[in-house]
Amino acid sequence: MSHRNLKDKRVLLTGASSGIGWYLASELVRAGAYVVVTSRREERLQQLRKSFGNPRHRLISVPGDIADPEHRQNLVDTAVRELGGIDLIFNNAGIGAVGSFEEASPERLRRIFEVDFFGVTELTRLALPHLHKGVDPAICIVSSVLAHRGMPGKSEYCAAKFALRGWTESLRLELKPSGIDVVTISPSTTSSEFFDSLLDSDPIEKSVRFGIQSAERVAHSILGAVRKGRRELILSPGGKALVWLSRLAPGLMDRLLLQYAM
């Protein structure tokens, strides 16, 4: 795939109520795509639709929790019924937490995996039969630079993103013969509401951040990667430095993280 045209593409997008998802939806609609969006905050989805003059035929909102199997099925059914199929799926929804693993509850780990891993993988499973019939189909995974490097205080989030990375690499190879692209994007810290809704975390907990970028810029980079059919993209210079230094000098990176991230 040399260049994917987004015009008239039938898109399923999760985590659209703010941040990266909000700007992804906005740019997709401007590019002429038909988009089914979801998040738990119905009022924010309504605001998103109103920002485009409430375009019912271009932007369809289906509020709900991506961790709920019934909601995942409803999302796919809605996209197929209203749009006639699915060409692109953007797995963008996610949650995180900051704090010691030893002191956290088991429920925190399970909730993060339900949203960040199972929500992505099982929604994709449901969409795959329709993607096989789609036009220039692709699966986009909005992951994190922490899928490449573990970070103290973010063990559950890193674990889910590491698992997602392994699944994505395998899925990419499985789907290559059928022509479905699998694009993985690894942003660093993004200016969004993500850190305002950390799960079961002390608000005074600090989070080390590598290469803060605006949500709008990240969304633009994601769509550029999908248009070009990129395999994987680490977005910020700080994120790239974190990944490569961890590979080349893991002991040094351990010492730096113990000093500055604890």
The tens digit of pLDDT for each residue in 69-112 reads: 999 999 999 999 999 999 999 999 999 889 999 999 999 999 99
Q: Does 10-260 carry CATH code 3.10.110.10?
A: no
| Residue 53 to residue 141: CA distance in whole angstroms | 29
Burial class of residue 48 in the structure, from the number of CB atoms within 10 Å of its CB (0-12 exposed, 13-18 middle, 19+ buried): buried
Taking the CA atoms of 168, 178, 73 and 48 in sequence, report the sign of the dihedral they define.
positive
Are 29 and 53 in contact by the 8 Å Cβ rule? The answer is no
Q: What is the DSSP letter of 146?
A: G
Per-residue model confidence as pLDDT tens digits over 5-40: 999 999 999 998 888 999 999 999 999 999 999 998
Predicted local distance difference test score (pLDDT) of residue 148: 92
Per-residue model confidence as pLDDT tens digits over 203-227: 445 455 555 778 888 999 999 999 9
Question: 118-140 b/e with 16+ CB inside 10 Å = b?
Answer: bbbbbbbebbbebbeebebbbbb
Active site residue 260: no
Are 92 and 142 in contact by the 8 Å Cβ rule? The answer is yes
Q: What percent of the chain has pLDDT over 90?
A: 64
Look at residue 190 and tell me whether its pLDDT is greater than 80: no
Question: 35-45 b/e with 16+ CB inside 10 Å = b?
Answer: bbbbbbeeebb
Question: 176-190 b/e with 16+ CB inside 10 Å = b?
Answer: eeeebbbbbbbbbbb
Prediction pTM value: 0.88
Tokens 């699998």 — which residue? 182
Q: Which two tokens stand for residue 181?
A: 């692209």
Which entry of 23, 34, 157, 260 is annotated as an active-site residue?
157
